Amino acid sequence: MPELWRTLSSARMSWEKCMPEGHPLIHSPSRRMCFLDKIKMMKHQKGIVMLRIAVCVKQVPSDKITVSDEDGSLVRSEMKSSMNMYDYAALETALHIKEQAGGSIDVFTMGPKHAAETLKESLAYGADRAFLLNDRAFAGADVLATAYTLSCALRKAGPYDVVVCGLKTTDGDTAQVGGELAADLHVMYVPGVCAALEAHGTFIKTKILTDDQIITIKAQLPVLMSVEPSACTFRVPTLVQRLQSRKKEIQVWDAESIGADRAKTGQAGSATKVVKIITNSQEKKVKLLRLSAEETVSLIEERKNAWIKTS
C-alpha cells in the first residue's frame, strides 16, 4: 500500500506540474475526472489492478415462518430475520479477494426495508457500499425473477470483475440463483468454491466441490462464483466497525432506478408459482425407560421385528 500511495501521489504531482499556475483546469469541476483518468493510466503502467467486487446477500427467516393465505408466499415483515448463513462465506471470500488484490466491495440485497439490517452487518464486516433493492414489484420472485432483478442492479452499479454469492439460501434452498445470475450477466460461473482462492489481476485460482471430487480451476475475470461455508473462516466485526457501519448510507433502488421491466420482476416475472407451503408440525415424544441389560436387548429385538413386519 505505501508503494501504491507513492505511485498515485507521483501521478498527481506530475500532472499538476504540467499545468501553468492559475490554469482554469486546476480549479474546474473536470479536474477530478482528469486526475482519475491519469491514475488509471499510471495503475496500468505499473501493473496495479484494483478489482471491483460485488456480493449478493439475502435476509432469511430465523424464527417461525408466517405464510400468506392469498398466494402462499412468506410474510417476511412478521418474522425475525438474519443474514443467510451461506452469504457469510460469500462476504468473507470477497474480503479475502480485496485483501489480496485490492479493490472495493459493493453488497446487494433484494427485500423489504428491514433487510437493510443485513446490509449494515455487511458494512460492519468491511464492505464499502450497500444497495437495497426495494419495490413491491419485486415480491414473490422465483429464481428467474430474482436473478433478473439483481442483474439489472449489478449492471447499473458495475461493471464488476468478481461477483460472489452464497451457495444457496436456507429459505429457498434451490442453489440456482448464482448460475442464473451468471447467465444474465454473460460471465463465467464457478459453483461450489470450497477453499481459499488466489486472486490476481486478470484471473482467480481456487478449488470447487463437485458430487464426487474436488477440482482446482483457474478462471479468467470477470467471473461469478457461489461459495460453500467450508471455504473460509469467518471473522467477527469489532464494536467500532459495527458503530461505524451505522453511519454509512444505504442506497435504496426501486424498479425504475435500476431500469428493470416490472413484467420480469416478482411474481409477474416468475416462471414458477408457489401452490402451497406446509409447516411441519410433527411433535416428537420422548419416553424415559429404566431397564436392565437383558430388558434392553429384549426391547430392541421386539422393536426391530415390529419394524420388519411393517416395512
pLDDT digits (tens, 9 = 90+) for 157-182: 989 999 999 988 887 778 889 899 99
User: To the nearest whole number, what is the mean pLDDT of the chain?
Assistant: 78
Mean predicted confidence (pLDDT) in 83-88: 88
pLDDT at residue 125 greater than cutoff 50: yes
Q: What cell numbers appear for 254 in the block?
A: 426501486
Compare 273 and 179 and report the one with higher pLDDT.
179
In which band, very low, low, confident or very high, does the pLDDT at 272 lie, cut at 50, 70 and 90?
Answer: confident
Question: In whole angstroms, what is the distance from residue 311 CA to residue 307 CA?
Answer: 6
